[in-house]
Amino acid sequence: MDKQAVRQTLDQLAAFLVVKGEKASRVRAMQHAARSELLATGRSSALDELREQVPPGLAEMLRIPGLGAAKVRQIHELLAIESLAELEAAAGDGRLAALPRFGAKTAENVRRGIAHLRQASTLRLFHHAQDEVDAVRRALAGLEGAGVLRVEIAGAVRRRCEVIGALDLVAVHEGQAAREALVRRLGEAPGVTEIAGREGSVTLRFASGTVVEVLLTTPERFGLDWIRATGSPTHVAALETRARALGVSLSAAFPDEPSLYRALGLAWVPPELREANGELEAAAGAGDRLPRLVEPGDLRGFLHCHSNYSDGTVTIADWAAACRAAGYEWVGITDHSKSAAYAGGLATEDVAQQHDEIDAVNARVSGIRVLKGVEADILADGTLDYGPDVLDRFDFVIGSIHSRFGMSEAEMTRRVLAAMDDPHLAILGHPTGRLLLQREPYAIDLEQVLAKAAARGIAVEVNADPHRLDLDWRMVRRARELGVTLSIGADAHSTSGMTNVAVGLGIARKGWLEPDGVLNTRDADAFLAFARARLVATG
C-alpha cells in the first residue's frame, strides 16, 4: 500500500470512528495502530470491522463533499436518517436546515453534494439507481401535452443488476410529428438542466445529478426497442444473430416483447435472465426449460432481521405486526450473538428474556408466528460463539463472519467449513462478506463451501441488503446446480429494511431460482424441520 492509500484509509477509519461517537484520543490511537498494520498487510482489521458497524448509508453520506463525519453523526442521531435518499429529502423539506449549526446554506450544500456524487460516480447500487430512474419515469409519464403514451424502465435496472452504470428509459409516443413535440417538452421538464439529442434517443441531465438516456419509440416498434434498451448487449446480439439465421426482419412491427421473441421461435425471457447465459437455449421451442422464477407471493417467511435486542431499532412485537401486515406467515428474528459487541450482541443472560418476549408475542398476536433465531458469529477457529447448550435454545441459527476478514483463502475456507460441522448451523449468512463498491469479498473457496452446504443440508443466504447482495447471483445459479437451498435474508435493522426483500428477490431471480430452491417459501413447520434436521439426526 503506498503512502497516499494509507493516508486515505486512515482518514476513512477516523471518519467511521467519529460517526460512531469515539473520542479524539481514541481515534488517534486507533489510527496509530492501523498505520503499522496497513504498511505490513495492506488491510486494516479495525476498518473491516467498522464497516460492519457503521450503517452503509452513513458510509455513503461520508462521501458527500464538505459534509464531514461530525455532521453525519449529528444527522443520524437527531433525524434517525440512515440513507442518502432520506438525507436528500430532509435537505429539501427544511428538517436538515433546522438542525443546530446547520442552516439553509448547509442544507443546500448537501443537496449539491449529493448531485455531485451522482455525477462523479459512474457506478451506483441497484436501490439508488432504481429510485433515481423511477423518479424520472414518473415525471416523464406525467408530462402534460407531451403526447407520451407510456414510459418504462429499461437497462441494467430492469435486469436487476447489483451495480448500475447507466440509467435507461423507453418513452412511447405517436408517430414522427409527436416526437418533436415530445423532445421539446422533455427539455422543459422539471429539473432538467440539459438535453442532448441523437436520432431516436435523448440524454437528460437533471439538477439532482441524475443523467438518464431516454429511447424514443412508437407503439409499433416498442417491443423491439424495449428489448434493445434493456439489454444485455450480448443477449440482444444473440437475438439479432438468430433473426438473421431465421430470415426474420426486425423492421417489422413488434408492439410488445413477446411478439418479437415469438417471431424468433422463443418464449418471452424475463429481463433478469437476459445475460447470454443459456436463456435463449432454454427459451427455444416451448420455452419449458426456462425456470418458473420465484415471485414475491411465494415468500411465506421473513428471515434475518435485527430487533432492539441487538443493533435493530424495532421491538419483537413491532416485527410481528409489520410482517403480518406485509402478508408473511412467519418471521425469523435473528439478533447478533454475544461476541458481536460492536452491534450490542445478545448476551447469554439476555437470551431467556428475549425468548420470553417472543413467547408472549406469539401468545398475544394471531396471524403471524415469531421464530427464535440468532445470527451467530463464526469465530476465527470456525466455532459459533455460543456453546451448544445456548444454541439449542434457538429455533434456528444463521452463522456469519463479521471479523478477521484478512485471512488467507485456505484459512477462511477451513473456518467456514468447520462452522458447517456444527449441527446447529442452518443458514450460512452473507457468505462472501462483500460490501458492494466498498469492500471486496474475503478470499474463500466457494465451490468447496457450496458443495458442503449441499451435502449437509445447510442453506446459503442471498443477503438482500442492497449494499451486500451476497451470495452473488452468478454463484446463486451455481449453488443451485450443486443442490444447495438458498434463503432470502432481509438483514433488516428497521421496518424500512423490509424493502430489501424485493431487491434480494431480484438477485434470486437473476440466479434462476425457482420457489422450491428458496427456503423461505416453506411454511414455518417445514422451515423448522429443515433448520433442525441435523440436530434431530444427531439426537
Residues of this chain that interact with Zn ion (CB under 5 A) are 375, 400, 491
- 154: number of Cβ within 10 Å: 25
Least distance from C-beta 520 to Zn ion, angstroms? 15
Least distance from C-beta 492 to Zn ion, angstroms? 8
Question: Where are the strands (E) in 126-166, listed by range?
Answer: 148-153, 163-164
Nearer to Zn ion, 272 or 491 (CB): 491
Q: How far is CA 283 from CA 103, 224, 257, 262, 268, in A?
A: 57, 17, 13, 10, 7
The x, y and z cell numbers of residue 306, run together, are 435485527
Nearer to Zn ion, 67 or 378 (CB): 378
CB-nearest residue to Zn ion? 400
Least distance from C-beta 306 to Zn ion, angstroms? 6
* DSSP secondary structure, 325-351, as one string: HTT-SEEEEEEE-TT-GGGT---HHHH
User: How far, rounded to the nearest angstrom, does the alpha carbon of residue 116 sit from its chain's CA centroid?
Assistant: 23
Nearer to Zn ion, 369 or 493 (CB): 493
Nearer to Zn ion, 49 or 108 (CB): 49
H-type helices in 149-217, by residue range?
Answer: 155-158, 175-187
Least distance from C-beta 468 to Zn ion, angstroms? 9
Least distance from C-beta 49 to Zn ion, angstroms? 12
Between CA 42 and CA 111 the distance in angstroms is 35
Nearer to Zn ion, 431 or 515 (CB): 431
Q: For the chain, what is the radius of gyration of the CA atoms?
A: 25
Least distance from C-beta 415 to Zn ion, angstroms? 15
- 120: number of Cβ within 10 Å: 10
Decide the pairing of beta strands 301-305 and 211-217: unpaired
Least distance from C-beta 50 to Zn ion, angstroms? 14
Per-residue burial over 209-234, b if 16 or more Cβ lie within 10 Å, else e, is bbbbbbbbbbeebbbbbbbbbbbbee
Between CA 480 and CA 533 the distance in angstroms is 20
Nearer to Zn ion, 12 or 400 (CB): 400
